[in-house]
Structure formats: structure tokens, C-alpha cells
Structure 1
Amino acid sequence: MENYIEDLNIINICAFTLGLMYGLVAQYTQFCFSGAIKDYIQIKSTRRASSILVAIITAVILSQSISIFFQIDFYKTIYFKDEINYLAIVIGGIVFGIGMMLADGCSSRQLIKLSQGNIYSLVTILFIAIFAYITSKGLFSYLINLLNHNELLLKLSSYLPNMQLSILLVLPVLLFLLWKMVPNIKSLLLCFDGLIIGVLISLAWFVTGVINVNEFEISTLEGLSFVYPSGKALEYLMFFSGTTLSFGVSVILGLLAGGTIMALFNKKYRVSCAPNDKENKLKNSIIGGSMMGIGGILTLGCTVGQGLTGVSTLALASFIAISSIALSAYFTAIYLHKRNALPSCYLFEWNQK
């Protein structure tokens, strides 16, 4: 109990609150990267994809504004680490994308589904956490380090510096894509979840980059992500008295709490869909979770960790990472769809209430 009280500092309370808000919003609207891909493949709907774009645009604008106003240096984050290995990032993105579609949801989506009572999501999350830890600190870490620190790959990657892209270049492209996806201006109101989540992504930088600043200690600048923190959350639950609560773990606990609370009221999403004859939910949950754990470490984040948080820093590597995840997930979804094995619990159209 004494250890628990010491962990309840302002940073972890803020992190829990951010996770809580994310969980409330994501459960209410079923905000989901993999769901956006499935919507487009099966019914050509861009509704959830538009919410994701709104989240990215909001996160980019607010994060860059916070960075300028409070002098936060994004080059201190993992997204601008000194030696970047693009091949490792792309491989990680491909592995993560395949796993995401097999398991029917990325790491953040699985946490929401667990809060709704989906037992298969518990299996997926456990395997994400276990394999994220095995890959970062355990049995696979030696092989991963050989890949990440391969001299030839690092030299090849050095020809394309991991620069911070100009917001004047990125923002017009994102706005153009949003304009092509949204039927009309009024439809943007349905993307309010993206706006809120984009704000939460930005606030995470404020919490770790402004509130967490201590002149006597080296503070860690981090944003919202769910793969490695899942491994740390498992470690925290298993070795409670021998470890401390961190920002990432607090976010995950808050997300679970928020999703659970909203699921009590938003009951229509509480029942998981029945698998069809060509699905093996348990096997796919195990394989997909394992792949996301490995891929998330290699690519330095998940769809939220790279697709929202990383992209908000405008790091070139983050755009490469989320592109590899998205393309891999898209082609995996097409393959599964042709085999009638693509899970389709919920599909969202623009005219849907």
C-alpha cells in the first residue's frame, strides 16, 4: 500500500486522466484504425478513417503549438533517436499491420474491446504485452539488437536523415485527404472523436514536457502509446512491490477504466460478434497479439504511438512507420476479405446515427 501511495504523483494522475478520456471517447464511437480499413474494404465508407485524419491534424497543430510555446524539444523523443534503421521500422510496421488485422484490432482497440467484455481481447493483450517485453528486454532482444544496429542498414538509413518535416508541407496534404474523404462540411461533426483524441495526444506532450520538468532530475518526454507500456503494465501487476507506476502504465489503466465506464452506458457495443466458419478467434488472437508485440517494438510504436503521437512530432520515421502499418493492414484485410475470414463486428457509414 505504501508503494501505491508513492506512485500517485501528479504525472501519473494526469496520465490516468488522459487514458480515462481516451477510453470514454474510443468506446463511445468505436474509434479504430483497423475498423477504418475494414469499413472501406467492405462498404467503401470513410467515416472512421476521417475521424483518424481529424485526430492526426488536431494532434499535429496542437503538438507543434505546444512545442513552440513551451519550448519542448521533440528531438529528445524516441522518434528522433540518433541512429535510425528504416528497414527495421518498415519490417516492424508490416508485422504489426498483419497482426492487427488477424487479431481484429490494434493494441488500443484491444484494450477497449476488453473493457467491453471481449475475452479474446484479453488473450491478445496478454500476448502483446509478453512479446513486447520479450522483444525489448527478453529472449528476442539479442536478435532485435542485431537488426537495429546492423552497420550496413544504419549506413543506408543515414542517407535519408530522420528530419522533422515542415508543417507547411504536411498540413495541406492532410487537409486535402480529409476533403476527399468527407462528403460535406456537416459530416465533420461526426468526427468529433478525432478532435478529442487529437487534443489528448497533444496534452500528453504537455504533461511529460512541461508538468514533468524537474531541474534536479532527467525527465522523460513521451506521449501516448500502447505496445511497450502494455509490457510494463504486466510487469507492474506481477511485481507490484518491486516496481513503480509509470506514465505509460497509468494511461493504460485509465483507458481500461474509461472504456469500462462507457460500456456500462453504451451497451450496444458490449457484445462481441460471432466468428464465421473461417475464423479461429483464439488462434488469431494469439498470433496477432504476438506479432503486434514484436512489430510494435521494432517500429517504435503502434497505430497510436506512431500514427498519432509520432506523427504529431512531424518525424519522417513516424510517417514511414504508420505508412508501413497501414499498407500491411490494408493488404492483409483484402486477403482475409477474399477468404471470407475478415472479422466485421461493426461497420460505420456516414448516414449511420
Structure 2
Amino acid sequence: MELELLADRFGDKWTLLIGGAVIGALFGAFAQQSRFCLRAAAIEFSRGQVGGKMAVWLIVFSTAIAGTLLLSAMDLFSATETRQLASPQSLSGAALGGLMFGVGMVLARGCSSRLLVLSATGNLRALLSGLVFAVVAQASLHGFLSPLREALATPLTTLSIGSNDLLVLSGVSETTAFALVLIGFMASLWLAMWRKIGIWKTLASFLVGACIPLAWWFTKSMTGIAFEPVTIESLSFTGPSADTLMLFLSQPGSMIDFDVGLVPGVFLGAFLAALVTGELELQGFEGGGSMRRYLAGAALMGFGGMLAGGCAVGAGVTGASIFALTAWVTLFSIWIAASATDWLVDRKLPERQSHAALPAQQAQPVTIRTSE
């Protein structure tokens, strides 16, 4: 097999890193081209619209789940071997962390993966916010914020309900789940056609979603090749961002794995895609208030993502693809918090300020930017 040859030549750890970098580059390139963003979809939906941003997210989401179920049906992957289903997970952490992440996502105008993609195109706001996100995530994992994270994650875990497998808890078979997801996928394609997002954007969205089962397959395959234990995982950006940060602060070669290859790979893929399409552009903050907003949002995402055990991609797509209950709780919490924050911060407060600054007869509706 090609993976065995690669592992024999470069070693297991470097093969994992190369695989993470390649899959990350594919994700970054297609995410940049499709404008995949949970925040944009959540805001669009909360404002009473079901448009192109929602179509992109639904294509990615349904493709990831359908692809993962296909891997399972072909006996190429088993969800029960993943960390999310093989060990107890925190329900309280998923709910609270998801709420924090959703608030931060709106304040920073992008989730962690979106910030990484935007930073590669020259967005300095996203770059600085991404660094803050990684620092806070690391502090929440092993630093001074870890006791708080552990305290919030302890009260309610999946031990109390016996499983974290949503299919087991609901009694739904994988065949039925696949049929339902396939219906959702067809509906998302219809929505994409209705909203005229274009063939290329639709294809790019599909390929973003396909990166999730591709990563599951790759890490599962490596378990049968590597001499040392390999974690079966797919795409996530909270833990990997923290690991990548520590890579630059640790002894060279001390941290080589799939996660460490993923983040640089996404950055490189998004950069090359933007370079080829002429979309590279330096962008900075628009003032002190804007900077405070972005950094506060990034910090909330860093802690919230680590508390929840995943980000908008790690929980909202990757975890959902294996029907981990905590991932679906996190996704629901992110969605609710993002919608509420958009209503309060980007609609209600500006509307009040506008009416307070102008005479009643001159007050005009405020136009809010919904995407970067």
C-alpha cells in the first residue's frame, strides 16, 4: 500500500504529519473558495433567510455525515473506536462551551477554522484573533484556565445516560440515518441551485465535507501501519491550534502528528487558493472598538471550544458525522448563542444607537455586515 511505503520511508509520525498537512491543504483551499462558515449560515438563518451561506453549510454537513456512514458500511472505519464514543464525554461542557463558542464566533466574525482561512488571505484581524484563540485554548487545556474548564465539565457527563452514541440512544440504524442524510444532501443541492451559488462553489462545498471522512479513513488506516498507538480522528481546530502553537515553543521534532500538520496545511491551502484566484488582500482593524470585539470573541472561542471538546468544525461537523451526542449538543448551543448574539450585538444595539443619535423622523435602518 502507498501509506505503508510512505511510512517506511518517512516514519509513522512524519507520515501522520504529511497526511494532516495534505488533508488540511485540501480543506483550506476549498473552504476559501466555498466561503464555508457556520457563523454566516447561523446569522443568515436567524435573520429569516435560507440562502447561499446556508446552502454551503448544509452541503458540507451532509457530505461529511454521508461519507462517514459510507466508510462504516464498507468496514473501513468504526465510529466506536473514536475518542468521542469510546470514552465518557461532558454534556455540561458541550452545552456551556458551545454557548461560549457561539458568542465568540459572532464577535470575532468567524469561527476558528474561518479565521485560519481568512488569515491566509491577508486578513490581519483574523490572524491576531487566531493567535489569541490558540493561546487561550492552550491555557484551557494545560494552563491556568484548565481548573475552571475541568470544574465546568464535571457536573454532567455521558456516564449518566450510558452512552454518547446518538444512534444507540435513539435506536436509529445507520441505514436509516444514511437515508435521512441523503435526503438532506439532496435538499441542500436543491437549495444551492435555487440560490444560484454556482457549480464551482457547490463542488467546493462538497469537497470541504469530503475532507472529514477522508481524515477518518487516513487516521484509521494508520492504526494498522504504525508501531505506536495512533488516535483515530478527523478535522478539528481547537486542540490542533493549541498544539501548533506549542510546536513553535518546544524542542524541534518533539510534537509530530496529524494535528500539527493540519493547521499549517489549511493555511497553505487557503493561501494558494486565494493567490490563484487573485483574492489576497491585506486588511486590518477599523479601530480600538473593533479590535476589542475580535479579541474578546477569540478568547471566548478558545475556552469554549476546549470546554466543549470541539469547535464549529470539530464538534459541529466532525463530531456530528459519528453521531456523538455531545457534538450535536455543542452544535445546537453554538447555533442558538450565535443567533442571540447577532440579534443583540449586531442588530438591536446598533438600532437603538441609531435612533438615539437621530431625530425619530430621520432614523434609518442599520446595515450590518454578515461576512468577511
Given the two structures, how large is their TM-score scaled by the length of structure 2? 0.81
Task: Please state how far the C-alpha of 1:91 moved relative to its aligned partner.
Answer: 0.1
1:337 corresponds to which of 317, 341, 346: 346
Q: Give yes or no for the alignment of 1:116 onto 2:116.
A: no
- The 2-side partners of 1:272 and 1:174 are apart by 40
Q: 1:221 to 1:281 in 2, by over 3 A?
A: same
Q: How many residues align?
A: 338
Q: 1:146 to 1:215 in 2, by over 3 A?
A: same
2:302 corresponds to which of 287, 293, 316: 293
Which one-letter code corresponds to 1:250 in the other structure? G
- The 2-side partners of 1:342 and 1:320 are apart by 32
User: Conserved in 1, the CA contact under 8 Å of 2:20 and 2:258?
Assistant: yes
Q: Give yes or no for the alignment of 1:10 onto 2:42.
A: no
- The 2-side partners of 1:113 and 1:280 are apart by 20
Paired residue for 1:199?
210
User: Conserved in 2, the CA contact under 8 Å of 1:112 and 1:255?
Assistant: yes
Q: 1:54-65 maps to which residues of 2 (within 5 A)?
A: 54-65=59-70
5+ residue gaps, structure 1, are 348-353
User: Conserved in 1, the CA contact under 8 Å of 2:236 and 2:314?
Assistant: yes
Higher mean displacement: 117-126 or 241-250: 241-250
5+ residue gaps, structure 2, are 1-9, 351-365
Partner SS state of residue 74, structure 2: helix
1:265 corresponds to which of 258, 265, 276: 276
Q: 1:269 to 1:182 in 2, by over 3 A?
A: farther
Q: Which stretches of structure 1, 4 residues or longer, exceed 6 Å deviation after superposition?
A: 5-8
Q: Give yes or no for the alignment of 1:159 onto 2:164.
A: no
- The 1-side partners of 2:264 and 2:56 are apart by 24
Paired residue for 2:222?
211
- The 1-side partners of 2:125 and 2:193 are apart by 37
Q: Which has the higher Rg, Structure 1 or Structure 2?
A: 2
Given the two structures, how large is their TM-score scaled by the length of structure 1? 0.85
2:77 corresponds to which of 45, 48, 72: 72
User: Conserved in 1, the CA contact under 8 Å of 2:102 and 2:338?
Assistant: yes
Q: 1:296-335 maps to which residues of 2 (within 5 A)?
A: 296-335=305-344
User: Conserved in 1, the CA contact under 8 Å of 2:124 and 2:285?
Assistant: no
Deviations along 1:65-100, one digit per CA (max 9) or x if unpaired, are 213324533223232253232122100000000000
Q: 1:328 to 1:146 in 2, by over 3 A?
A: same
- The 2-side partners of 1:179 and 1:61 are apart by 14
Higher mean displacement: 212-221 or 325-334: 212-221
Which one-letter code corresponds to 2:55 in the other structure? S
- The 2-side partners of 1:84 and 1:8 are apart by 27
Paired residue for 1:95?
100
Paired residue for 1:351?
none
- The 1-side partners of 2:367 and 2:20 are apart by 34
- The 2-side partners of 1:342 and 1:177 are apart by 32
Deviations along 1:219-249, one digit per CA (max 9) or x if unpaired, are 1111100111111001001224262222112
RMSD after superposition: 2.9
- The 2-side partners of 1:169 and 1:70 are apart by 17
User: Conserved in 1, the CA contact under 8 Å of 2:40 and 2:370?
Assistant: no
Q: 1:43 to 1:146 in 2, by over 3 A?
A: closer
Task: Please state how far the C-alpha of 1:255 moved relative to its aligned partner.
Answer: 0.7
- The 1-side partners of 2:368 and 2:123 are apart by 14
User: Conserved in 1, the CA contact under 8 Å of 2:139 and 2:146?
Assistant: yes
Q: 1:182-193 maps to which residues of 2 (within 5 A)?
A: 182=191, 184=193, 187=196, 189=199, 190-193=201-204
Q: Give yes or no for the alignment of 1:132 onto 2:134.
A: no
